[in-house]
Copies of this chain bind each other. A is one copy, B any other.
Amino acid sequence: MLTGLQIAVIGGDARQIEIIRKLNELDVKLYLVGFEQLDHSFTGAVKEKLNNMNLEEFDGIILPVAGTNLNGEVETIFSNEKVVLTEEILSKTPPHCTIYSGISNAYLDEIVKKSNRKLELLFERDDVAIYNSIPTIEGVLMMVIQHTDFTIHGSKTVVLGLGRNGMTISRVFHALGAKVHVGARRKEHIARTEEMGLESFHIKDLEQVVKDADIVINTIPHLIVTASVISKMPHHTLIIDIASKPGGTDFRYAEKRGIKAILTPSLPGIVAPKTAGQILANVLAELMSEDLMKRKESS
């Protein structure tokens, strides 16, 4: 239980519902900003406006996964009001107050730095990335099935990168009967690919490998699927790029050549918002529990 904690949830989408549900169950005192139109009510969680709140007592502020935009605005799906997060607001919180967001940008970085608060970026955590690989792979499956007239089973699928998403994707496509070829640079990734019973190749040989590829899935956030690579693919190849924007594919050239290429950097919130919310909720609960314990120990 997290009894005693006081947290503000500011804006967000369906994922925030799961966070609110979980923290509410753990007895956190919750203040919800930007949720006026949310039908569901949580006993004990108070819907409130940002400037009405007594910020001095907050242990944490939970932002949407996108954080703020470059003007400090926070996206609020369940409200028509504009909510802006400022350095002034952060400065009113107690020094130990933590700001939780998925990602950050120059604006959020700056107000956090100036107010000297701790910023916890959930999407930079390895555990969150691995948990998110689960809804991600299901989104990838859906898109591949929708955008092909052949089955994954029996297809030659090239997966680029054996990181947090790449390992999940490779395993699942293998289980579905695809002939999976994993492209990597690190020798231990090549070794792990072989151990998993998949074909491995060095990224430098990508042009050769795509010559008869049916599906190419990129997870590497650098330009890997270049025009030169795309020019070697058969016309029916489908490219799915899940690397963070702008992806690792030359989309302009793919379109020119008539090769279908889709950039889908944030599948979890789209295909399984409930699960994606639960992932964040679980990690938030764990982080808050650890923080609480540390503060108790040090006090």
Copies of this chain held together in the complex: 4
Q: List 15 A-B contacts (CB under 8 A).
A: A125-B187, A126-B191, A130-B195, A131-B194, A133-B195, A134-B153, A138-B151, A138-B153, A149-B272, A150-B272, A151-B272, A153-B195, A168-B195, A172-B176, A177-B196
* A152: nearest chain-B partner, CB-CB: B138
| CB atoms of B148 and A145 under 8 A apart | no
Q: Is A97 an interface residue (CB 8 A)?
A: no
Which of B141, B151, B191, B196 interacts with A145 by CB under 8 Å? B141
Contact residues, A181-198 vs B (CB, 8 A): 187-188, 190-192, 194-197
Q: Is A275 an interface residue (CB 8 A)?
A: yes
Chain B residues near A175: list those with CB within 8 A. 172, 175-176
- Interface SS of chain A: helix, strand, loop or mixed? helix
Chain B residues near A273: list those with CB within 8 A. 149
Contact residues, A234-288 vs B (CB, 8 A): 271-275, 286
Q: Is A5 an interface residue (CB 8 A)?
A: no
Separation of A251 and B235 alpha carbons in the complex (Å): 42
Chain B residues near A138: list those with CB within 8 A. 145, 151-153, 176
| CB atoms of B272 and A148 under 8 A apart | yes
Number of interface residues of A (CB under 8 A): 47
Q: Is A142 an interface residue (CB 8 A)?
A: yes
Separation of A65 and B230 alpha carbons in the complex (Å): 37
Q: Is A14 an interface residue (CB 8 A)?
A: yes
Known: A138-B176, A149-B274, A175-B175. 5 other contacts (CB 8 A): A127-B191, A138-B153, A149-B273, A167-B192, A177-B195
Q: Mark A130-168, 1 if CB is under 8 A from B, else 0.
A: 110111001101100110111111100000000010011
| CB atoms of B142 and A146 under 8 A apart | yes
- Whether A187 touches B134, Cβ cut-off 8 Å, given contacts A142-B146, A151-B275, is no
For the complex of A and B, the 3 pairs showing the least CB-CB separation, nearest first, are: A175-B175, A126-B188, A130-B191
* A136: nearest chain-B partner, CB-CB: B151
Separation of A125 and B186 alpha carbons in the complex (Å): 12
Separation of A195 and B271 alpha carbons in the complex (Å): 17
- Whether A192 touches B130, Cβ cut-off 8 Å, given contacts A150-B275, A151-B272, is yes
**Nearest Cβ distance between residue A141 and chain B, in whole angstroms?**
6
Chain B residues near A272: list those with CB within 8 A. 145, 148-151
| CB atoms of B172 and A197 under 8 A apart | no
Separation of A159 and B196 alpha carbons in the complex (Å): 18
Separation of A126 and B177 alpha carbons in the complex (Å): 20
Chain B residues near A133: list those with CB within 8 A. 195
Separation of A172 and B172 alpha carbons in the complex (Å): 9
Separation of A286 and B191 alpha carbons in the complex (Å): 13
